[in-house]
Amino acid sequence: MTRLVIQHPTLSDTAVAAVVRAVGKPPHCRSACLAIWDTVSLTGAQVDSLAASLQVDAEIVSPTLRLADFGLAAFDMDSTLITIECIDEIADYIGRKAEVAAITEAAMRGEITDYDESLRRRVALLEGLPQETLQRVWDERVQLSPGADELIGAMKRAGLRVLVVSGGFTFFTERIRQRLGLDLARSNVLEVIDGKLTGRLLGPIINAQGKRRVVEQTCAMLGITPAQAIVVGDGANDLAMMSIAGMSVAYHAKPIVHSQTHHAVNHSGLDAILNYFSDQSAGVSRLA
């Protein structure tokens, strides 16, 4: 048996009617942002085609899938848990956002093969910037992605440990950890001397393989396997940790990530992920 989950922040009657024609029956439940069909026979390719043509989030899941069956959720930070790329916004304070953002975008799309070098190049451009700029970015520009609070809260209630693992910087991941009540945070350390960024990083870089190692080590610490982990991200440097996860979700992600993950959320908030699971009431409570 399979379950079809269709989602959009404003799910239109037109879109639902198109899915009804494809499935051959009405949804068993429907709300303003969600429709669910049980026992459908569509293939994954057909569902992907529907999602693309109707501009909705559409996923085939098992009706017995339970969030409580997982032990860890690991999230990327930039453009996943939060809406911005922190390094791009830091660079904006010295008038170099476009230059840094171009490198960031190419790295996230997988067009730069040496991620470490791309990060060093971007960080070097920040040399001399006052450390207080990081606090300004946090205060003025960092916003949680829609649904982040709801998703993390439900995961914690279901007994999962929650990790943020980022190619970004500890200044921000530690604040996100505290803001969302996460269990663990791992990221890169900016060197600061005399209150100014030096343009260098301290310690080993958290790159794609570094992210994977963090997930593996955290699973080992918890006494679970990576098959009991959910990983959510948006960029090419998330693919290594996604590849070992029992469930991987591409969130508003780059094309290269879509092609290599189990699920994708392109239009909805992070809390849309909850509607994949039979033991979650977030979506059911909105149905009427």
The residues that are catalytic are 76, 78
- Whose CA is closest to 202, among 212, 215, 210, 192? 192
Give 165-233 as a DSSP string.
Answer: EEEEEHHHHHHHHHHHT-SEEEEEEEEEETTEEEEEEESS---HHHHHHHHHHHHHHHT--GGGEEEEE
Beta bridge partners of 60: 4
The full DSSP string for 233-274 is E-SGGGHHHHTT-SEEEEES--HHHHTTSSEEESSS-GGGGG
CB atoms within 10 A of CB 128: 10
